[in-house]
Chains A and B, each alone.
Chain A
Amino acid sequence: MYEGMVTARRYEERLQEEYLEGKQPAFDISAGPIPGELHLAAGHEASGAGVCIHLRDGDTVTAPHRPHHVAIAKGVDLKRMTAEIFGRETGLCKGKGGHMHLFDPDVNFACSGIIAQGCPPAVGAAMAAKKRNTDEVAVAFLGEGAIDQGGFLESLNLASVHDLPVVFVVEDNDWAISMPKERVTDVTDGSQRANGFGLPGVRVDFDDALAVYDAAEEAVGRARDGNGPTLIEVQVHRRMGHFMGDAEGYRPENDVERASRLDSIPRLAEDLRKRGVDDDGLEEIRTRAHERVEEAIEWAKEQPEPKPEAALEDAFAGPPEGAAEPPAAAETDGGERSDGPRITPGERSGSDGGEE
């Protein structure tokens, strides 16, 4: 768990450095080696690591638009994920998804750039597991800014009424972009949302990875044993702006300081020391994590950019093996067309239109 958290933290630090290359001194969101928006999750590591450690490859995770720490905890291929974030051909999604839309079917990981909208598909994955009589579970991660969304509340209800093996994990970092939590809800403890839907709600305060571990162990076990969904809200802290380039003019200075003070990683290190892990042991973990991150970033940067004509592929599934050619009369919209438009990299605009 500690190694996963340290890996995620180092990964975010390195992405930040790479992202800013070419975007200074004048900030241009589409410039540099990493295009588009970048939402970092430094300060959220305890929730991803504490929950996903209880999951297997066959379990499904849907993450929100701040997904890296969850992806790393779920075991998403780090090199291909990094290549995707750099917009490369060998990325997880061939450069068509980007950092908010990472898909790794090998470990059943998906994410969405739209607030709370990963919740219904997680319910569907749980529905599939129940229909197939497996003990697989699904976990939907979302931010506290999403707990007023219909998609989330409807999902709690549907999961509850059908006793589906889902765990909803709300990461409460107090901020929905520039909107402080107290200005969007009068409910301090978001896990109370569970009360209206007949499922258990648990809140874990103080960025405590071990407490997340315990709460998730119970919730995942409950789901796996066929006893239905659970809502967990985890207090985390946002150590950076909402997105890279966010000047955070709305945020009080002491809030930034507080996020740093309550950091979950030194807290877990202290817990581990108390349990007899010495500093050399912790340093060894850190070194290993840093090397893994460096390797992924170096590999990603060496990967080729996708060919412009690939923009016209993958709107639909490929034909099944052994399928006949489509009838000549039918024009396959969205598929490959030899006379289709060509998009050159220079014509692309910077933002992918994801949720800001």
Chain B
Amino acid sequence: MAQQADAAGRELTMSRAMVEAIAHEMREDEEVFVMGEDVADYGGIFGSTDGLLAEFGRDRVMDVPISETSFVGAGVGAAQAGMRPIVELMFVDFFGVCMDQIYNNMAKNTYMSGGSVNVPMVLMTAVGGSYNDAAQHSQTLYGTFAHLPGMKVVVPSTAYDAKGLMHNAVRDDDPVVYMFHKRLMGLGWMPSPAGPKTDVPEEPYSIPFGEADVKREGEDVTVVTLGLHVHRALEAADELSRTDGIDTEVVDLRTLKPLDTETVVDSVRKTGRLVVVDEDYRSYGVTGEIVARVAEGALSDLEAVERVAIPDVPIPYARPLEEAVNPGVEDIADAIRATR
């Protein structure tokens, strides 16, 4: 477990932990600024920028028109000019409005320039469902961003990780897509599960990209997941430990690019069984990628594989429909049992 015992018992929500990291980086470096829809007075629809306006003012916490192409692209231009913008795309579902700026400019300019141009920006965006907001406001889309080269993709699951990964994201010289799950943020109107609120040190610290975290050690089966589903997998693991005597290891990927293949493969070498859980669509996504990496790295150790993901349909609205497609604790427990 990477949760630090020396955090002096100061628990934060994930959104407060993110804001703390952003505020620290803004104090340290005048070139860091925040731009997005409703990030100033509102503090971010999901609390990701709450309180920044009061300390830093409108020049550094900028509300912008609802026109994602222009302000995401302006982030690219400011980053290429040497600044360090943090740009919020309110819902990841809106990426279609501005995808050209994301994958043709932000992600490719470093490569197309032969390394002479850097784009040190953070594109911060809310992902995930489980609150009945239907197909245009509930997607996760990890696979879409991790598939396209040129950007680093970060998905925190706890307040501790969220802060350390944000420090690293702002300091990174490359474009980082920082995807936070709405249900982990600790919002009053969208209750979080117990897990994401953790002890968080007051001082800054950095969690390097490409280091998965074993959130629960176990001997019998490996569950690889990320974001909200780390907590659902942990709950399933505890349940199975009591009811079935199955000892489950839960690996939290934390970053999709770069991907820590070694921790995943090592875990499967130990357990021989792999379950991949993802809130993104099943086809051509994280589940397929992880299974492929394990097949490449530990084929002879692999005794069973199960995938739990959104079947290939848009996210439905009605509660029973969404619950049917979004992997729940029981779905994960069933998949773990199925590997036996």
List A residues at the B interface (Cβ < 8 Å): 60, 62, 91-97, 101, 103-105, 108, 110, 112-114, 117, 119-129, 131, 138, 150-151, 154-155, 157-158, 161-162, 313-318, 320, 326-334
Least CB distance, B143 to chain A, in whole angstroms: 14
Please determine whether B83 and A128 come into contact, CB atoms closer than 8 angstroms. Answer: yes
Q: Which residues of A contact B339 (CB under 8 A)?
A: none
Please determine whether B150 and A334 come into contact, CB atoms closer than 8 angstroms. Answer: yes
Least CB distance, B77 to chain A, in whole angstroms: 2
Interface set, chain B 80-129, CB cutoff 8 A to A: 80-83, 85, 100-101, 104-105, 109-118, 120
Residue in chain B with minimal CB distance to A164: B74
Interface set, chain B 256-300, CB cutoff 8 A to A: 257-263
With beta carbons under 8 angstroms apart, the residue of B65, B78, B116, B209 that contacts A124 is B78
Q: How far is the CA of A158 from the CA of B64 in the complex (A)?
A: 8
With beta carbons under 8 angstroms apart, the residue of B60, B70, B82, B152 that contacts A158 is B70
B185 in the interface (beta carbon within 8 A): no
Interface set, chain B 240-260, CB cutoff 8 A to A: 257-260
Q: Which residues of B contact A114 (CB under 8 A)?
A: 100, 104
Please determine whether A112 and B78 come into contact, CB atoms closer than 8 angstroms. Answer: no
B220 in the interface (beta carbon within 8 A): no
Query: 30 A-B residue contacts at CB 8 Å?
Result: A60-B81, A93-B114, A96-B114, A97-B112, A103-B116, A104-B116, A105-B113, A110-B113, A113-B104, A117-B104, A120-B73, A120-B76, A120-B77, A120-B105, A121-B76, A124-B81, A151-B73, A151-B100, A158-B64, A314-B113, A316-B110, A316-B150, A316-B173, A317-B115, A320-B173, A326-B208, A330-B208, A330-B209, A330-B262, A332-B258
Q: How far is the CA of A316 from the CA of B262 in the complex (A)?
A: 21
Known: A103-B112, A103-B116, A120-B74. A110 touches B258 (CB 8 A): no
Q: Which residues of A contact B260 (CB under 8 A)?
A: 329-331
List B residues at the A interface (Cβ < 8 Å): 33, 59-60, 62, 64-65, 67, 69-83, 85, 100-101, 104-105, 109-118, 120, 149-150, 152, 173-174, 208-211, 257-263
With beta carbons under 8 angstroms apart, the residue of B77, B83, B109, B210 that contacts A123 is B77
Q: Which residues of B contact A62 (CB under 8 A)?
A: 77
Please determine whether A315 and B150 come into contact, CB atoms closer than 8 angstroms. Answer: yes
Least CB distance, A164 to chain B, in whole angstroms: 9
Please determine whether A326 and B210 come into contact, CB atoms closer than 8 angstroms. Answer: yes
Please determine whether B210 and A97 come into contact, CB atoms closer than 8 angstroms. Answer: no
Least CB distance, B293 to chain A, in whole angstroms: 9
Q: Which residues of A contact B65 (CB under 8 A)?
A: 154, 157-158, 161
Q: How far is the CA of A114 from the CA of B100 in the complex (A)?
A: 8
Least CB distance, A244 to chain B, in whole angstroms: 21
With beta carbons under 8 angstroms apart, the residue of B77, B118, B210 that contacts A317 is B118
Known: A117-B105, A327-B208. A128 touches B113 (CB 8 A): no
Q: How far is the CA of A332 from the CA of B33 in the complex (A)?
A: 27
With beta carbons under 8 angstroms apart, the residue of A105, A113, A117, A331 that contacts B116 is A105
Please determine whether B78 and A101 come into contact, CB atoms closer than 8 angstroms. Answer: no
Q: How far is the CA of A97 from the CA of B104 in the complex (A)?
A: 12
Please determine whether B115 and A60 come into contact, CB atoms closer than 8 angstroms. Answer: no
Please determine whether A97 and B149 come into contact, CB atoms closer than 8 angstroms. Answer: no
**A-B complex: 8 closest residue pairs judged by Cβ atoms:** A120-B73, A124-B77, A330-B210, A94-B114, A121-B77, A103-B113, A154-B70, A124-B74
Q: How far is the CA of A191 from the CA of B112 in the complex (A)?
A: 32
Please determine whether B116 and A93 come into contact, CB atoms closer than 8 angstroms. Answer: yes
Q: Which residues of B contact A96 (CB under 8 A)?
A: 111-114
Q: Which residues of A contact B118 (CB under 8 A)?
A: 317
Please determine whether A124 and B211 come into contact, CB atoms closer than 8 angstroms. Answer: no
Q: How far is the CA of A131 from the CA of B61 in the complex (A)?
A: 12
Please determine whether A155 and B70 come into contact, CB atoms closer than 8 angstroms. Answer: yes
Known: A103-B117, A151-B100. A157 touches B67 (CB 8 A): yes
